[in-house]
Amino acid sequence: MTITSCKVTSQEPAKDIVIGKNAKWSDKMALTLMKRHPESYMIDDAKKPKWDYVHALVLHSIEELYKKNPDARYKNYVRSYVDQFVQTDGSITTYEFDKYNIDLVLPGRLLFDVYETSKDEKYLKALQLIRKQLAEQPRTQSGGFWHKQIYPYQMWLDGLYMGEPFYAEYTANFENGKSFDDIAKQFEVIQLKATDPKTGLLYHGWDESKQMPWANKETGNSPNFWSRSLGWYVMALVDVLDYMPKDHPKRKDLIKYLNNASEAILKFQDSKSGLWYQVTDKGGQKDNYLEASGSAMFAYAYAKGVNKGYLPAKFKKAANKAFDGLTTVLIKKVDEDGGITLTNCCQVAGLGGNPYRDGSYEYYVNERKKDNDPKATGPFILAAIELNR
């Protein structure tokens, strides 16, 4: 398929989208995003195409939605993104391999289905290129992937979702599962190093060198619990378990990590709204707020965890309560065109860098917010699918 024809197929359905009043929440959100961003590269208000994890998160959710509701517009929307980047030789435009940035692995997830349906070798070569990044990704001494080359010796919870679901699907499809021990190792390291013994929650980041100003000089951990980072972590677990063989000796460990983290997170669900605060354990403190992306991620991981038999049934109840909060507290109204807007989405948060991010409570609660941020809308769609809503 040529890029031009693919662009047309994605544009035409996105042009005259009607969002039905009685549509499911999953379809409502997907169609809203397609209407607001007629070309898939425009997600997150991007002005030009970029190989990016935020696009990948939303497009992965739309890909999953297509499996439940095979509307060709969904498939075309995802395909048009992939085809903007993957060249005939398997190279990927705008993908910066040499940065060893684990965020750039996530869009590779979109290539599996496209390769499966087209059998075009260029997609296989692109998959192999991303796998090569993981093969060369710098690691901590304990074997965990660095988050980025510019963040040496650091693992962030975000990175588990950025890298491991792709790694798991790749090794299951093309390596006869030989890398599952290494995938399990990523979770083992962060579980061992970043878990707080008191709450059972995991800190956002861990610096093996303990050199970063944000890092605790004894543990190397960042100072606070950020809901979205915990969301990335539990989503990574439920997605990796899709591919890990039932008889793999490490599978039970991953299920245990999922249960432990889920129990710890559940203690901080706001009893009234069903949502979680931006800084997970400090609900009610000055400037902390009920945050959409972390809440949507927890709803997805909880619902999928129960559906797949990894988590006890009470988590499905918690997921539905969270989803009720998202749709009644954070979606304040339906727009004139039937579209929906999810509010209270933290737009960005990280550690270190320039300007410097210190991981303090004040830092997290004052980072900017953005309505319908992709880190919230993607998991919202995924949660809606798992909850059949």
Annotated catalytic residue: which of 158, 239, 281, 373? 158
pLDDT of residue 11: 43
Please check whether residue 88 lies inside any domain of the structure.
Answer: no
Please check whether residue 169 lies inside any domain of the structure.
Answer: yes
Please check whether residue 356 lies inside any domain of the structure.
Answer: yes
Please check whether residue 140 lies inside any domain of the structure.
Answer: yes
- The Cα 301–Cα 258 span in angstroms is 9
CB 235 within 8 A of CB 300: yes
Q: What is the mean pLDDT of residues 42-66?
A: 98
pLDDT category, 16, cuts 50, 70, 90? confident
pLDDT of residue 8: 34
Please check whether residue 259 lies inside any domain of the structure.
Answer: yes
Q: What is the mean pLDDT of residues 268-286?
A: 98
Specify the pTM. 0.96
Location of structure tokens 């961003």: 37
Please check whether residue 87 lies inside any domain of the structure.
Answer: no
158 catalytic residue (yes or no): yes
Q: Computed over its alpha carbons, how large is the radius of gyration of the chain?
A: 20
Tell me how many domains the chain contains: 1
Please check whether residue 93 lies inside any domain of the structure.
Answer: no
Q: What is the mean pLDDT of residues 33-61?
A: 98
CATH number, domain of 254, equals 1.50.10.10
Q: Collect all residues with Cβ–Cβ distance below 8 Å to 271 and sequence separation of at least 6.
A: none
Domain residues for the domain of 282 are: 13-45+134-387
pLDDT category, 4, cuts 50, 70, 90? very low
Percent helix, strand and coil across the chain, each to the nearest 5: 55, 10, 35
pLDDT of residue 15: 65
Q: What is the mean pLDDT of residues 342-348?
A: 98
pLDDT category, 12, cuts 50, 70, 90? very low
Output DSSP code: residue 310: S
Give residue-wise pLDDT tens across range 356-369. Answer: 999 999 999 999 99
Angle, in degrees to the nearest 10, between helices 121-136 and 157-174? 130
> Does 9 or 294 have the greater pLDDT score?
294
Residue 1 has pLDDT above 60, yes or no: no
pLDDT of residue 145: 99
| Average pLDDT over all residues of the chain | 96
Amino acid letter, 174: F
Give me the helices (H) in the chain, please. 3-15, 25-36, 53-68, 72-85, 109-118, 121-136, 157-174, 180-194, 227-240, 251-266, 292-307, 314-325, 361-366, 374-387
Q: What is the mean pLDDT of residues 200-210?
A: 99
> Which of 4-8, 107-111, 183-187 shows the lowest mean pLDDT across its residues?
4-8
Amino acid letter, 276: W
Q: What is the mean pLDDT of residues 317-329?
A: 99
Location of structure tokens 């299951």: 172
Please check whether residue 54 lies inside any domain of the structure.
Answer: no
- The Cα 74–Cα 58 span in angstroms is 11
